[in-house]
Amino acid sequence: SIPLETQFARVPRASMSAWTTAALRTASRRTLSVRPLTPFLPGAMNRNMASNNKGYDILRDPETNYGMAFDAESRKALGLRGLLPPRMCTMTDQKRRILGQLSRIPNPLDKYMSLMALQERNMTLFYSIIIDNVYEMMPFIYTPTVGEACQKYGHIFQRPRGLYISIEDAGEVREILDNWPADEVHVAVVTDGERILGLGDLGTYGMGIPVGKLNLYTACAGIHPNKTLPICIDVGTNSPDLINDPFYTGIPKPRVRGEKYDALVDEVITALNERYPGILIQFEDFGNTNAFRLLEKYRNTVCTFNDDIQGTASVALAGIMGAVKVKGTQLKDETFLFLGAGEAGTGIADLIVDQMIEEGMSEPEARSKCWFVDSKGLVVKSRLDKLQHHKIPYAHDHAPIGSLKEAVEILKPTGLVGVSTQGGAFTKQIVDTM
């Protein structure tokens, strides 16, 4: 035990439990055996100092480095005398110093890089700052700044984070996974980089998303960072700009699809469950062609969920149910019109349908309450031969409608859901029409 003066915000246990329950309920339609999640509070890391770490090794290990917060007794016992400035500086003072440095950095991407560098040298200080200032720091460690960070990932690259598994590793994934130092992992966030945020195919530059998302798992849900694993599956990229980028971090070849792709993903899922039984696997930012079918393939056999389909849907449904409660109606009384028919939109609609069924509606009745407008207009049955499979359940028998405005006028929805990158679509005229 190392005596350190620290001031850490606590992660509410009740909130952590609710978040975990929601995630696991969304993960599968049937009960799965999963390992309990390890709670994380930055101060708890003080008790985990490896007894064999001494001197410089402590300061170069982000898990054991507390900067100038080591007191005189600790510095003597751990061989740190002379390796740190003489004056002790509490964690509170160190947080103030870092926040002051961040305030003097005008560019959000530079703030992101500064915070990532801090995480690499002092994990305790990093998470303490994020937890204490989550609303201020979240835009820098995740969206929107992480989008620019991913676009420039190879150009701002400092140290590797997470695990990279490429198509060239096929047949040896378990051996690759055994290189990961943690003997116990509870959560893995996995991407293949094909649909990063609204930015498209970024290949291995998409690793910034699993890294950022798991930082939020720790800061907001209390999951210990050592029990998390960011993974990028590299099957190439279809972006000519990245293929020709000299700093691109992945295989500079077009994407592999079909049987070889499926075999690699299956090998990754199998290896993860072999080494870490019961691990929660979150699919993140897969393209539409793979996201839905991979979720359906694995949801009833392993503990998994797709954040873009189910995570977004959980938050959206919670907001809708809150609005319905204020309105004094039931969900089944409402009609929803979605602008955008991708993973997020149909995922939200699926969860709305599930809730309507719980309120006594049949599935066909519930689906008839959800309508979609995509880039081609209203999703209707006359377009079936050209629709992606995830849109088909919401293709209703109706005359074609070409615009959102016209759809609002004719369908008279009571709820409008925006899941498109088309900004400014919900005009005052459209809202007034509702």
Name the percent of the chain in helix, strand, coil, to the closest 5: 50, 10, 40
Q: Catalytic pick from 213, 227, 369, 391? A: 213
* Catalytic residue (choose from 142, 205, 298, 394): 142
Tokens of 400: 């074609």
DSSP one-letter string for 278-320: T-EEEE-S--HHHHHHHHHHHTTTSSEEEIIIIIHHHHHHHHH
377-378 sheet: strands from edge to edge: 377-378, 370-374, 336-339, 415-418
Q: Is 213 annotated in the active site?
A: yes
Q: Name the phi and psi angles at 407, rounded to 5.
A: -65, -40
Asked if 247 and 155 count as a contact pair (C-beta separation under 8 A), the reply is: yes
Amino acid type, 4: L
Contacts of 100-105 with C-beta under 8 Å, sequence gap 24+, read 102/140
Q: Catalytic site residue 405?
A: no
Token pair, residue 292, equals 């839905």
CB neighbours of 240 closer than 8 A, spacing ≥ 6?
Answer: none
Pair 316, 349: CB distance under 8 Å = no
Which residues carry out catalysis? 142, 213
